Every structure is written in C-alpha cells, then in structure tokens.
Structure 1
Amino acid sequence: MNKKFKTLLIILVIFSLGLYSFSLKKSNTVEALGVEPDNELLIYFRENFPNNEVLKCGYEDLNDDGRKDLLVIYNESKRKNAMLVVIDKEDGFQVSDHIPAPIENLKIEFKDIDKTGPIEIIISGSKDENFGYSIFRLIDDTELKDLFGEGMEDCC
C-alpha cells in the first residue's frame, strides 16, 4: 500500500507541474492578453516596465490619428493594478500617465459613444465582491480622463 501511495503522489505532482506550465503558456496568448505577444507596443511596454506583469491589453486607435495604440492593464504592486496607454506616434512611442485599474475580472471595450472621435474606453472589473466600471477618453496623448463611472473606487 505504501508503494502505491508514493507512486500516486509522484503522478499527482507531475500532473500538477504540467498544469502549472500550461497555465503559464496560456497567460501569454492572444486570448489572455488581448493582443499578439509580439505586438511592438507591448514589447515597448515590457522593455520600459520590466517589473510589471501585463494582465490585459486593448489595441485600438485611441487618439484618432489613424494609428492603433495599446491600452495596458498591468500589476503595479500586491493587490494594486494600473493602466496606461502606449501611443504610436509618427516618430516613436509615448506613454500616457497611469491610473488605477480593477484587480479581477478585467474587461476592456472600445466604443465611439458620442460619434465624434476619439473613441471611448470602457473598463470594468472587480476587487473582492465590489464591481465597477468607467468610461475613459485619452486626452492630449497624456491623460486617461474618467468621463463617467460607477464603483471603480471600490475595485481599484
């Protein structure tokens, strides 16, 4: 019986390590990130913020200049996330100011709500049992301005 128990334990450990490895690979997929892992704006973010784990991205023209920009939600510290925009400028990349972001259940949507451009960014998520959402717009390529929201102060 003791030998069967050891064998079962070894199999269970190997299986667990395999699942862990699979989950690490999956976190770098388009489905998990929101963009291709080799996106040049994402690479720029990772080079400039090497200590911050990327959690979710959105890829859209956020300043209405004809080039797609990258909204990045990332882990800033324990139980604290932030977001910023990596802006594709003609002569390189620029990073907007960062603001707090939800901790869990992250969702990014883009919608031209007022039909005037630039496009609005809808962020939703939660922290513990608190859910919130906000609508943002990128202003002057530097500021993510909160236009409207509810409950974000409890989930960021």
Structure 2
Amino acid sequence: MEQPPESRPAAAPHRAPGPLHGQGPVVGAVAAGGAAGACARYGASLLWPQPPDGFPWTTFGVNVTGCAVIGVLMVLVTELWTAHRLVRPFFGTGVLGGYTTFSTYAVEVRRLADAHQAATAAAYAGGTLAAAMGAVWASAWATRGVLAWRARWSP
C-alpha cells in the first residue's frame, strides 16, 4: 500500500557538482594555457617585428608552427597515451589557441587589401590556410611515423 505523502522520506536535494568536479578546472586550464600561449605569441612579435607595409611573416610563422604542434599533440594524446583530462584543454585549446592568432591573420589580410596590395593579401590568405592545414597533416603523419619506428626498433 502506498504511504501518504507526509510520511514519505524527503528526497535528497539535487546538488550541482562542485567547481573541482565540474567545468571549473577545465576553464582554469584553458585560461592558464591561453595566457602562456598569448605571451609566447607576443614574444615572437617582439623578436621578429613586422614592417607595417610588408608580408606578415611573424604571424604566418606563429600560425603554421602552432598548427604543427597541434598535429603532434593530438597524435600523442589520442593515439599514444591516455592523458589527464586537463592536458588537451590546457595545451590544445589554451596554449596553442592563445599562441595561434587567426584574428590577427584576418586583420592583416584586410590591412593588406586596404593598402591596395591585393596580390599579397590573397597570397597571405590562401598561403596561411594551406600552410596551416599542411602543417597539421605533416606533423601528425611524421609523429605517427616516429612512433611506429620507435615501436619497431625499441627493445
């Protein structure tokens, strides 16, 4: 027989997971990694300043090298070892997201076009996309090759 409502035990109140078990650590990892990546990008701009009217080689190099590292990282954390849950948010989204700068790339394409350097703007726009995608593919391919070679020849 069913108990009357007043005699039923009260349901435990639903509690959302605390910040240490929810998304708080992920947000913190992304923020810390993003700060580190943005500092590295800024450092590159100080080491290799770009002339205002020239090809933006520093941003091009940062985006291509960042994409190459993304290719290596994704192979390592998805195919070689099981990484801690914060590794990908810290390095992939945070560090490499803060290091690469496709917003600056878009502004620089626009700057070149506004300066009537349409050919340079087009070369930069297409070249960056091709080089960045090629860098991800090539670095992932090379990383898989190194891992296969290592597995074959290591004792």
Give TM-score scaled by structure 1 length. Answer: 0.28
Structure with the bigger percentage of strand: 1
Q: Give the greater-gyration-radius structure (CA).
A: 2
| TM-score (norm. length: structure 2) | 0.28
Higher RCO (CA-CA < 8 Å; seq separation 6+): 2
